[in-house]
Amino acid sequence: MKQSKKNLKIPVTTWLVPSVLVFTMVVLYWAEHVFKTNFYQFGIYPGKYKSLTGIFTAPFIHGSIKHLFNNMVPLFVLTTALFYFYRSVKWRVLLLGTLLTGLATWVIGRPSWHIGASGIIYLLTSFLLFKGIFSKQYQLTALSFAVIFLYGGFIWYVFPVDPKISWEGHLSGFFVGFLFALVFNEKTIQNKKYDWERDDFNPEEDSFISQFDEEGNFIETHREEPSDDLVETNLLKEKPQIRKVIYTFKKTEHKDEKF
């Protein structure tokens, strides 16, 4: 029972890390408006070596409240899914994926400032989608279908459909996520095997199956009756029970009756 409760326990990082990421994005956007400043210079400008530091700062910078909200919700949902279902590779996917996505954007991007967490969102979307399909595990495959249902429309924005959107960052994240789904082969969820599914299972030694014949009919088994010596021994071991019976006598008065 203790083991099952332990398996059902959700690690703190599953919700803490996504919360910290979203909280940082909101605080920085709030600071821009309160202090009348702009943090776009912390983004990624392809070709400029000074902007390489923007690989890890650009995801927290957003140009509008709509831009912030469109990235905030998917980032929280997808990061939570990553940290819950892929605990063995979560940090590598998030940190290394952010690095490679930022570098790819710096290489192929247009000469403009690229900001926002959309590159990481496409990284997580692609990884969760393809990894679930490749794993052939029903839990992770179901997660893949959920990702398709929620964020399947994102696929259109890996193409230059809108000049205001950094499709280069989207394409970079999508490609890195697909690459990680192929590279990381660790088993994330252990498939539960019953006793009869094991290779060393012997039906003749199983107490339940032994109660049925070859045609599947139930065979009534009789318990062995204990011997007389054993019964006598058990009776001697039993302590005699002492019972007390209390009688109460009550005097009654008899009157003579006249006929």
Q: Tokens 């065979």 identify what position?
A: 219
Q: What is the pTM of this model?
A: 0.71
234's tokens: 């058990």
Helices 97-108 & 167-183 angle (0-180, nearest 10):
140
Q: How confident is the model at residue 3 (pLDDT cuts 50, 70, 90)?
A: very low
Instruction: Give mean pLDDT, residues 95-114.
Output: 96
Q: What is the pLDDT of residues 201-242, one digit of tens each?
A: 666 666 666 666 666 666 765 555 555 555 555 555 555 566
DSSP state of 226: P
- 33 has pLDDT over 60: yes
Task: Please state the φ and ψ torsions of residue 146, each to the nearest 5 degrees.
Answer: -65, -40
Instruction: Give mean pLDDT, residues 34-61.
Output: 94
Instruction: Give mean pLDDT, residues 121-141.
Output: 90
Specify the pLDDT at position 49: 94
| Nearest by Cα to 121 from 87, 166, 164, 89 | 166
Q: Comparing 87-91, 106-110, 144-148, 185-189, which segment has the lowest mean pLDDT?
A: 185-189
Q: Comparing 92-96, 184-188, 231-235, 239-243, which segment has the lowest mean pLDDT?
A: 231-235
List the domain boundaries for the chain.
2-183
Instruction: Give mean pLDDT, residues 110-124.
Output: 95
Instruction: Give mean pLDDT, residues 110-128.
Output: 95
Q: How confident is the model at residue 252 (pLDDT cuts 50, 70, 90)?
A: low
Please work out, in degrees rounded to the nearest 5, the angle formed at the alpha carbon of residue 234 by the alpha carbons of 233 and 238. 120
Specify the pLDDT at position 153: 83
What is the domain class of 2-183 according to CATH? mainly alpha
Mean per-residue pLDDT of the chain: 82
Can you name the residues that pair with 218 across neighbouring β-strands?
Answer: 212
